[in-house]
Amino acid sequence: MNANRSASITAYDARMTNPAAPSPLPDDGDAIDVQGLTLRFGHLTAVDHIDLQVPYGIIFGLLGANGAGKSSIIKMLTTLLPPTSGHARVAGYDISANPHEVRRRIGYVPQMLSADGALTGRENLLLSARLYGVAANERRDRIETALDFMGLSDSADRLVKTYSGGMVRRLELAQAMLHKPAVLFLDEPTIGLDPVARHAVWKHLKDLNQEFRMTILLTTHDMEEADHLCTDVAILQTGKVAIQGTPSELKAAIDEHATLDDVFTRFSGSSGDAGRLTDTAAARRVARRLG
């Protein structure tokens, strides 16, 4: 990293110690602790008694076929949807009892692009700074630093509708990092991006995780992305965790040549129906072994 960049990050860190910032995070406990979390839409059970523990400081991948329940879990953990039953704590606070405290400590980039195309990048960031309660006298510095961090300084005053998909995603990451959240939720952060833009987002996510020790929970259909970024992954199958572990553990559980694509095909239940019951049983056996 060049000296300017390093200095700007140090300055960014220093600014984060303002009196209005949330109290320091506990050293123990998990960033995300989910117990029996369930979400029903009428007769459909989208999330079915999920248990998950995500330690502080890691990148966690939530994988699963279309409709498996990934976005539903994120919407509950970000307090956008109330659970039907079960409990979850995020950054030390219960999502149902203390949603306001949770919101102060998280960032969220939704699955659908959310930046406003009719505004410039800088204007979008200003809106987010207000939304996240960044103090008025700090907004300008934080916005400049976030633009610099995401490589968008030169495009800050262009309308977002002229941005490429990769730039929009980086702007959304900049919006989500303004208040330096402890936990960042990203729903398919690289969907629709070309390989160069995708790798740029990967680099920025690693930087956020390593330089600010930000815990990241992301969803993806891209197994190369999960393998590259995630310390730990869980594969969902129709609202339940089919298997969880490090990418290496899960690959080794199949055989020494297996890829994460192979693991996904085996455990996500999306590979057809013939082997589904057998595979579910196998998944549970491996899960017990790893657990």
- Whichever of 72 and 145 has its CB closer to ligand ATP, that residue is 72
Q: How far is the CB of 282 from Mg ion (least distance, A)?
A: 26
CB 190 within 8 A of CB 201: yes
Q: How far apart are CA 281 and CA 154, in angstroms?
A: 53
Q: Is 145 one of the binding residues for Mg ion (CB under 5 A)?
A: no
Q: How far is the CB of 39 from ligand ATP (least distance, A)?
A: 8
Q: How far is the CB of 118 from ligand ATP (least distance, A)?
A: 26
| Secondary structure, 3-state, 151-194 | CCHHHCCCEHHHCCHHHHHHHHHHHHHCCCCCEEEEECCCCCCC
Residues that bind ligand ATP (CB under 6 A): 41, 44, 46, 64, 66-72, 111
**Cβ-closest position to Mg ion:** 71
Residue 12's nearest CA partner among 174, 215, 202 is 174
Interface positions, 102-131, toward Mg ion (CB under 5 A): 111
Q: Is 265 one of the binding residues for Mg ion (CB under 5 A)?
A: no
- Whichever of 70 and 180 has its CB closer to Mg ion, that residue is 70
Q: How far apart are CA 247 and CA 63, in angstroms?
A: 11
What are the Cα distances from residue 287, in Å, to 185, 211, 244, 275, 284? 25, 32, 6, 18, 5
209 binds, among ligand ATP, Mg ion, none (CB under 5 to 8 A by kind): none
CB count within 10 Å of CB 7 equals: 11
190 binds, among ligand ATP, Mg ion, none (CB under 5 to 8 A by kind): none
Q: How far is the CB of 41 from ligand ATP (least distance, A)?
A: 3
Q: How far apart are CA 66 and CA 189, in angstroms?
A: 15
Q: Which of 31, 32, 71, 76 lies at the binding interface for Mg ion (CB under 5 A)? A: 71
Using CB under 5 A as the criterion, which residues of the chain lie in contact with Mg ion when the complex forms?
70-71, 111
